Structure 1
Amino acid sequence: MSNFDYYEDFEALLNEYMPVKEDEEIKTKVTGTIVNMDRNFTYLEVPGEPKAVRVRTEELTGYAVGDEVEVLIVSQAEEEDSLVLIGSKKRIDMEIGAEKLEKALQNHEIITGKILKRVKGGYIVEVYHQQGFLPNSLSEIPADQGDSFIGKELSLAVKEVKEDKKGKKILLSRKEIVVAKELEAIDKLTLGEVVKATVLEVLDFGLTVKLDEARGFIHISEVDWKKTSDLHKLYKAGDVIEAKIIEIERDKRNVKLSIKSLTKNPWDIVAENNSIGQEVTGKVTRIVNYGAFVELLPGVEGLIHSSDFSWTSKKVNVNNFVKVGDEVKVVITDLSPKERKLKLGIKQLSSNPWEDAENKFAVGTILTGTVVEVKPFGIFVQVEEGVDGFI
C-alpha cells in the first residue's frame, strides 16, 4: 500500500483552499492596493483594471488598507449586479511554497512544518502554505502524546511530492532527523559515565529518561540495591536524576542506566567486613513459615531458617523468638556475595549442648535433674538446658 493511500480520509482538507472553480482563461498575477477590508472580504484596486478584485480577508493577515499586494486572479463572480475578479494571495504563496518543497526534496533539505490536526494514520502538517501528511510510522511521536503536538512546529524532511487530479500530496518524515540527533547524542556518551537525566515516563518495570536528544531506560532492578515494588511512589515525569551509563547499544538507539550503581554494592561491603562465623546485628524485616529475614545493610537480607533458632526444639514457632522490626544478634553461617546468598543463625550464639554430651553424660555418671514430663511408660528429666534424659 502506498504511503499516499492515507490521504483518502482527509482529501477534503487538502483542497479546502479551492473555494471557487477556477477559470484558466483569466488566471493571471496582478498587484493592487487594498482599498477596503471587512471581516470576510478585502477589495483591491488594480491599475488599468476596471473591475474590483476580491480576496478573502483571511488570506491577508498582517495587511492593512493602503498596502500593495500581489494576488493571482483565479475566476470572476457577480456581486451586486456587477462582475468582480476573484483573487488569491494564498495561491501565490502556495506556488512559491511548491517550488521550495521541490527544492527541499531534491537537495534533502530540512524544513519546518506546523502540525494542524491529528487524523487516522498520522498528522496533517502545514509546510510552505500547503498541507502535507506525516504518518505515525515516520513521526517519532509517542501515540499517547500525539494531541500535545498539535500546533507545534517541527523540523521535517520531504519524502515525496506527488500530484494528481485532486491536487498536490506531500509526504513528510521526522524520523531521520530524530534518529540523527539521537545517534549524535549517543556518540557523545561514555560507558560508566554519570549523567543527569530527565524522567519522561514512570512505568511499572522501569523509567524512560531523556539525555539531551538521546533516550535511555532504567530497569526497576537498577533503581536500588533493595527490592523496589512501586516506582510511582518514588518518581514522576519531569524529575531530574543522576544515573550511571551501564550499556550502550547504538544500533538499537538504546542506552541503559543504573541509579543503584552510583553507590557501592552492599553485598561487597558485607563481604569485605564480615566472615562466616562472625556475630552481627540486624533488623528483622519479614517472617515466613520457614524462618525470618534479617537485614544487615539496605539491600542485604539473610535468612534465619526455622532450624537455626534452637539446638533442641524440633518444631519452632518463629514468632516466639522474633518480631518484625526487632534488632537481633545473629551469626553468619553462609555468605556468597556473587549469588547474593546469606544464611544466619541464632542458635549458633550458644554452644550446642549435644556436642560434648558423650563426656558430660558418660555412662555411670550420677546426675540431678528436674522432672518435666511423666508418661505411663516412664519419666522425662531435664538434666541441663536443652538436654532431657529418660527414665
Structure 2
Amino acid sequence: MSNDFILAPEGLQMRDIDVWGPIYDAKTYGTIMEARVARARWIGTQGETWEVEFDDAPGITGLVPADQTGLPEGTPINAFVGSVIGVKVMEIDRKEGIVACSRKEVVNISLSKLIRQIEVGQEISSLVKFVGERSVYLDVGGGVIVVVAAKQARLSDGVPLDVQYRRSGIVNVIVTDLNKEERRIEVEPIDPWEKWTFSRGEILTGTVVAVRDTAVFISVKPGVIGIAPYKVGDEFIHGDRLEFQVNSFNPKKRKLRLVEWNPRKAGQRKREKYRAQARRKAARQSRTAKGGEKIITGVFSNKTAPSDEEVLKD
C-alpha cells in the first residue's frame, strides 16, 4: 500500500511525512537547496559529475554534471568533494531516486550581485576552497570562485602554496579587475609584508605550520611565513609555538630567514664564530710574518673560550 500523499494532512507539511517534499518545493519555487558533494565520478554521456547529498532529503542522490558546477574552466571538480554547495533542482526522477541539479544557476545569481556591489581597489574577504600546485581557488562570495595564479598568490618567498594557504582559511584580497560585460572578477591577496619590519637578531615567536625536507616553515604574522633550517634530530611539530631569531629580512623580496632561538645553542654559535675569527686572524698574521719570533695567535683553547653567560652578554 502506498503512503504517498497528494497534499499534506492538516497540521503537517509534506517534508514531515515525505523526504521528497523539500525537493519538490525547491523545484516548484526555484529555491536554493544546500547539499554536500559526496563524490565525483564519470557517468555515461554526462562525463564527470558530482554526486551530492541533502540533509533535508536523506537517501536522495543529486547529480551535478561538470558543465553545471559553476566552476571556472579547467578546475578539477574532484577537489571540491566534501564541500557544502548551493544548488537548484532542475529535474526529478523519483523512481530512480535521482535529482538533476545545477550549481551554475546559483553562482550566476551571486556573480550578478557581486558585480553590482564591488569595485576595483576594494578590499574584500574570501574563503580558500582549494590549493593546487600552481594556483589557489578562492570563494569571494556566494560560491563565486576566482583562481589566483601562484605568482600573485605566493605571499612568502620559497613557501609552497599548500603551506601558505589552508583549505577553509580566510584570506583578505583586493579587487584588481572587474569586467561587467564579460562578468569577470580578478583579485589578489593583500601584501602583508608592508606592515612589518624585523631586525637581524630580533627574537620572534612563531607557529610551526609545516616541515619539509631541510626546512621548517614558521608563521610569525598573518600571511608572513619565515623559513628556518631543519636538521636530523630537530624536533618540530605542527602547531608548536616557539621562539626564533631573525637571520635576514627582505620585505621587497618577501623573504624572512630564521634560526631556532635557544640561549645555549646561541652561545655555542657565538663561540664558534669567535674561534673562526681568531683562526682567520692567525692565518693572516702567519702570512704577513717575516722571520723573527713566531707570532702568538689569538686562537681560543677550550679553557679560554667564553662561557655562555659571557657570550650572551656580548
TM-score computed with the length of structure 2 as normaliser: 0.46
Higher strand residue share: 1
The one of the two structures with greater contact order (alpha-carbon pairs below 8 A, sep at least 6) is 2
- TM-score normalised to the size of structure 1? 0.39
